[in-house]
Structure 1
Amino acid sequence: MNVFIITGTSRGIGEALAAQLLDDSHHICCISRAVNDKLINLAKEKNNRLSYHSFDLNHITAMDELFAELMDTIQQLPELHAIYLINNAGMLSPIAPIEHIDATGIAENVTVNLLAPMVMTSCFIRHTLALPIDKRIMNISSGSAKYLLPSQSCYSTSKAALDSFTKSVSLEQMNKPHPVKVASVYPGMIDTQMQAEIRSASRESFPYVDQFIQIADQGQLQTAEYTAGKLIDILLRFDFGSTVVIEEL
């Protein structure tokens, strides 16, 4: 049995990842604030294993309890061969020059995009330390970590920091007896709620809004389903982790 723990499964890439990974030999652990009934029903229809864990990633100090719950579920599965964590959940807002963003907006963005994956990674490694199986963590980053635009300072900074964190963890795991392979991936521009959010920004708060509207109008955005398929291909490669920051799918 292969276990996939995925954050941000209420919609978008996370939902598509969970749906495509449903399989007789897989158990999918979904994590999001809102429960995705569509995924639960799909798993029931296919008679596949899926458990849903409603959790707000802003509550980072409660993640040890979440992982204890996850491990209770996982330890009951037959013949565990591999366990994977996909830190997918993220948020773009606030979209504005930094002087227009208050402390609450900055803290929420950095918590969801950076602190939550950091704590999830810590919990994952700690709770699977003694397991002599294939263990992998994929962090969903963004090209915004490298290619900067105005009014996205919180998002770009948190994603750049996520890449650095991934590199650091890769170094730490290098000589462990049962190492966790890690990689940070730029998924590209995808037709999700995040893209809709940026297209709805005012020109005053985000001067490049017209270019993003044009990209969508010209059909240049990837679908969540296409992106999820590519991400799964990367996660399951034999050499996953050999490239720590993957900039193209």
Structure 2
Amino acid sequence: MKYFIVTGASKGLGEATVQQLLKKGNHVICISRTENEKLEELANANGAELSFLQEDLTKHERITGIVQYLLSKIEEDNMLEEVYFINNAGMVDPIKPAGKADDKMITKAIHLNLLTPILITNEFIRLTESWNCKKVIINISSGAANRPIHGWNTYCSTKAGLDMFTKTVGLEQGQAASPTTILSFSPGIMDTEMQGVIRNSDKEDFDNIETFKTYYEEGQLRSPFFVAEKLLELILSTNVENGRVYDIKEFV
């Protein structure tokens, strides 16, 4: 049995990823604030196992317990072959220049985009250290990790931090007896709810808003399903470099 844990699984890239994972022999565990009835129907039709865990992952004090609970259930499976943890949940807000952002929103974004994946990874590696199976952690990154964008100071910083965390843990796991493979994946611009948030921001807060409106109007946004397809081709292969930051542009 292959297990896939996907955060932010009810919409966008998370939903598209789960759709493609719902096959016989896979058990997909979705962590999100809301359930998705379409995914449940698809799982039943395809004979796949699907579980939903409704959680708000900005509440960092709950993260360790969530990972402990999920892995304790997975460990009971004597047919366990592979386990994947896809840290997809994230938020682009607050889209505000420094000095104008709400401190509670900044804290929430840092927790969800950076602290939550760090805590998940730390507990995952601790609990699976002796597991003799394929173990992979995937952190969803962004091109914003590599360049400053007006109004995105929190988002850029958290994604840059996530990439460096990924590189460092990958280095550390190179010395582990039963290593976990960790990677970051930058999906590029996609037609998701997050893009809608960006297009509806104020120009005084985000001076590049017209460019993002043009992406949408000219059909330049990739579909989440296409991006998910490329992501899964990568992580299910045997050619993943531990600690590497991958970009969708490498696969199109």
TM exceeds 0.5? yes
CA deviations over 1:136-170 (Å, ceiling 9, x no partner) = 11100000001221000000000000000001111
Tell me, in whole angstroms, the C-alpha distance in 2 between the residues paired with 1:221 and 1:20.
20
Structure-1 residue corresponding to 2:40: 40
CA deviations over 1:75-106 (Å, ceiling 9, x no partner) = 34341111111111110011111110121111
CA deviations over 1:105-147 (Å, ceiling 9, x no partner) = 1101111100010011112112211111111111000000012
Contact residue 174 and residue 242 of structure 2 kept, 8 A:
no
**Equivalent residue runs for 1:106-185 within 5 Å:** 106-185=106-185
Structure-2 residue corresponding to 1:74: 74
Task: Give the count of matched residue pairs.
Answer: 249
Tell me, in whole angstroms, the C-alpha distance in 1 between the residues paired with 2:82 and 2:47.
20
SS at match of 2:204: coil
Tell me, in whole angstroms, the C-alpha distance in 2 between the residues paired with 1:215 and 1:64.
38
SS at match of 1:169: helix
Scaled by the length of structure 2, the TM-score of the pair is 0.95
Unaligned residue ranges in structure 1 (runs of 5+): none
Tell me, in whole angstroms, the C-alpha distance in 2 between the residues paired with 1:219 and 1:78.
47
SS at match of 2:84: strand
Scaled by the length of structure 1, the TM-score of the pair is 0.96
AA in 1 matched with 2:206? F
Output the aligned Cα RMSD. Answer: 1.3
Structure-1 residue corresponding to 2:225: 225
Tell me, in whole angstroms, the C-alpha distance in 2 between the residues paired with 1:130 and 1:243.
20
Contact residue 3 and residue 84 of structure 2 kept, 8 A:
yes
Structure 1 residues 76 and 42 mapped into 2: Cα distance closer, same or farther (>3 Å)?
farther
Which has the higher mean CA deviation after the structures are superposed, 104-113 or 39-48?
Answer: 39-48
Structure 1 residues 233 and 10 mapped into 2: Cα distance closer, same or farther (>3 Å)?
same
Tell me, in whole angstroms, the C-alpha distance in 1 between the residues paired with 2:22 and 2:112.
26
Structure-2 residue corresponding to 1:188: 188
Structure-2 residue corresponding to 1:102: 102
Unaligned residue ranges in structure 2 (runs of 5+): none
